[in-house]
Amino acid sequence: MTSTQPPSPHDTPAALGDRTAKTPVIAFLGTGRMGSPMAENLARSGFQLRVWNRTSSRATALAEQGAFVAHTPAEAVQGAGILITMLADGPATERAANGPDGFLARCPGLIWVQMATVGARWSARLAVTAGRHGVTFVDAPVSGSQGPARTGQLLILASGPDRVRDILVPVFGALGRATVWLGPAGDGTKAKLVLNSWLVDLVEATAEVLSFAGRLGLDPASIVELLRVTPLGSPYAVQKAGTMLAGDFAPAFALKHAVKDAELAVQAAYGLGTHLPLTEALLPRWRHTALEHADDDLSAVYITA
């Protein structure tokens, strides 16, 4: 899973010049629910930040932390040694890379750390595009939602060339509690797809059993207590059960992104000639629920369970 191969001397920060000076300048694209607290943690850790967000008002709070707010992705990467993307999905990330004012035209030598959940095909496609522009691509999606993003407790599922690992240690250290290096770029995204397939199945099971308990005439809260005190309930399921029963659907992980991730997992399995029957079965109802609750937390699927 991890490699002990030392970084090449050609790839040390010094060898990479100003772009990766001792404290590299970081360009950060996508200051949404996850990106904002992640960028804040980088600023607090002393990194010089250049941020961009499509809706610039969502990035301005970072200026108070000393970040430069750029008007375009291309402007954001000027003078940066490391770029982090935390946009919604593959198409949004590709547009920021290759679209008008995209960052790829301006940044040979950059280390691009792609941390959003974009799926295996998009990750591979972005890696190829990066390579064509002399950019080193690191695929490093995260496990953990808004709370862990705020407290710097994300789990980083990193994959990419060994030579940049040392450079990224302080960066990932500011964002997460642990980094797992999984292999060549793309393996992080594969692991993320597997974990989120597990996550959506678990949330569906939680919603279903609470609804089932209610229909049996039981108090669903008593089931949450049973889950809490037995090995059957995972901490995540118990937490989501609590928000379901409270009807508190303030988004930690938006239902629209959970649907995206379930679709990405199903597509990846299909591409391998196999199926994810559980995940496939929940998708039609989740898509329907998302028509009204796209920006609510994924626990809103309890409403239709």
Q: In the complex with ligand NAP, which residue's Cβ is closer, 20 or 145?
A: 145
* 245, 221 contact by CB (below 8 A): yes
Binding range to ligand NAP, per CB under 6 A, among 11-19, 24-32, 103-111, 130-138: 24-32
Q: Which residues pair with 179 in a beta bridge?
A: 156
The residue (of 156 and 276) whose beta carbon lies closer to ligand NAP is 156
Contact 246, 221 (CB under 8 A): no
The reply to whether 206 sits near ligand NAP by the rule CB under 6 A is no
- Interface with ligand NAP by CB under 6 A: which range of 17-25, 30-38, 220-228, 263-271? 30-38
Nearer residue to ligand NAP within complex by CB, 53 or 289 = 53
As a whole number of angstroms, the distance between CA 151 and CA 174 comes to 10
CA 253, 259, 264 angle in degrees (round to 5)? Answer: 115
111-150 residues near ligand NAP, rule: CB under 6 A:
116-117, 142, 145-146
CA 30/CA 49 separation, integer angstroms:
13
Per-residue tokens: 248: 């508190």
Kindly state the smallest distance separating residue 258's Cβ from ligand NAP, in Å: 8
For residue 10, the SS3 value is helix
Assess 75 for contact with ligand NAP (CB under 6 A): no
> Rounded distance, CA 175 to CA 160, Å?
18
Q: Which stretch binds ligand NAP (CB under 6 A): 123-131, 156-164, 178-186, 254-262?
A: 254-262
Q: Is 182 in the site for ligand NAP (CB under 6 A)?
A: no
Interface with ligand NAP, residue 252, by CB under 6 A: yes
Quick check: 30 binds ligand NAP (CB under 6 A)?
Answer: yes
CA-wise closest residue to 44 among 66, 25, 21: 66
Contact 36, 55 (CB under 8 A): no
Residue 228 as a binder of ligand NAP (CB under 6 A): the answer is no
CA distances from 168 to 77, 113, 156, 185, 295 (A): 17, 9, 11, 14, 32
- Determine contact, residues 169/24, Cβ cutoff 8 Å: no
Q: Is 268 among the residues that bind ligand NAP (CB under 6 A)?
A: no
Among 42, 82, 87, 265, binds ligand NAP (CB under 6 A): 87
| 9 Rama class: left (phi>0) / alpha (psi -120 to 50) / beta | alpha
Q: Could you say which of 1, 10, 55, 272 contacts ligand NAP (CB under 6 A)?
A: 55
Q: Rule CB under 6 A: choose which of 11, 25, 33, 156 binds ligand NAP.
A: 33
Q: Which residue is nearest to ligand NAP (CB)?
A: 32
Residue range at the interface with ligand NAP (CB under 6 A); choices 52-60, 198-206, 238-246, 278-286? 52-60
| Span of 157-165, 204-212, 236-244, 247-255 interacting with ligand NAP by CB under 6 A | 247-255
Burial per residue of 199-220, b for 16 or more beta-carbon CB atoms within 10 angstroms, e otherwise: bbbebbebbebbbebeeeeeeb
User: According to CB under 6 A, which one of 53, 179, 279, 289 is a site residue for ligand NAP?
Assistant: 53
Residues that bind ligand NAP (CB under 6 A): 30-35, 53-55, 58, 86-89, 92, 95, 116-117, 142, 145-146, 252-254, 257, 261
